[in-house]
Amino acid sequence: MATAASPTVSVEEGKREQSETQWAIAFRRFRRHRLAMISLFVLVIFYMVAFLAPVIAPFPRDYQRVQDGLLTPMSVDTQGNVRILGSDRIGKDLFSLLLYAARISLTTALIVSLIAATVGVVLGLVAGFFRGWVDTIITRTAEFISTFPDLPILLILASILVRSENVPVPGFITAFVGVVMGISERESRIVALVILVLSFLSWIGIFRLMRGMVFQVREQQYIESSRALGASNLRILAKHVFPNALPPIIVSFTLLLNGALVSESALSFLGLGIQEPTPTWGNMLNVARSFMFEHPWMPLVPSLPLLIVAIAINYIGDGLRDALDPRQRAG
């Protein structure tokens, strides 16, 4: 007598899949995206190295020795020290500068992204949920700001604010920036202004996305049921609307992080962002361009890490997009 074929999936596995939450499924699917996992590992390594720069760097940030200027990679200076990536025009160690610059550039991009995402999410929730005159005011403001050409406005604001000594910055902001990035109060003021300038123009995309998601979610039946049971607007927003609108926001955050990193580097490269002696990948590239024909390796020192991080963030965004796509829930 022929025996019945055993099922492909066991009862226990079927129960496990049915009991999995949305986030557990998304995490499982994200782990299958090899490039995204490798990119996440690379990004974590970059952030760890950036924050451990004072421990890892072979030289202090501001160490310079003019006699050892423009050394090639793996050269030995007059003190017998090996310069792993060479030195710049005034004898600063490029490997040490690269580590300290990573701390400033990556932290600046992360703070800008967090501020812009927070502002965009809050305003999108409020505008999409309450509608009416609240939605009109917030949306018209966002539309007005979005009409600005990004790069010219960034250049104008940065040149006015960063180069002016009379622009006040709250003390707690400069203190926070100084502690996180390990820089002086004067340097932290300039970094804080750059963060505020970049954040001012970066929240529009997140706002529009969140507003559109809230429009879809607020019409669902469970929202009406919660309201009928006496739930407050704040509870509905926090417990029902925000969690269901969150997945596309997470994906959009990676694009925001990448844009903030590139924008900060562009401003610093043009000499209108974070200034020396505070090292960033952008102003390192600005210094290197003057010597790129005689010493073509110098621009590669800051540009390669910038390129690697930008690609890694893009692949992480791709992995998150695939993992959080509801149309692929069964995968």
Q: What is the pTM of this model?
A: 0.85
Going from the N-terminus, what domains does the chain have, and what CATH number goes with each? 36-328 (1.10.3720.10)
Identify the pLDDT of residue 9. Answer: 45
CA count, 13 A, side-chain hemisphere, 113 = 23
Report the candidate in 313, 181, 191, 180 with the shortest Cα–Cα distance to residue 253. Answer: 313
Report the candidate in 266, 273, 268, 276 with the shortest Cα–Cα distance to residue 310. Answer: 266
Identify the pLDDT of residue 77. Answer: 87
Identify the pLDDT of residue 6. Answer: 47
Give the span between the Cα atoms of 57 and 106, in whole angstroms: 17
Q: Which tens digits make up the pLDDT trace of 39-52?
A: 999 999 999 999 99
The list of the chain residues with pLDDT below 70 reads: 1-20, 162-163, 165, 326-331
DSSP count for the chain of H helices, then E strands: 15, 2
Identify the pLDDT of residue 19. Answer: 58
Encoded amino acid at 136, one letter: T
Q: Which tens digits make up the pLDDT trace of 75-120?
A: 888 888 899 998 888 889 999 999 999 999 999 999 999 999 999 9
- The per-residue DSSP string of 139-156 comes to HHHHHHHHTS-HHHHHHH
Identify the pLDDT of residue 326. Answer: 62
Beta bridge partners of 83: 75
Across 48-207, the runs of DSSP E, i.e. the strands, are 75-76, 82-83
Please report, for residues 5, 11, 13, 14, the alpha-carbon distance to residue 8 in angstroms, rounded to integers and kept in the order given. Answer: 9, 10, 10, 10
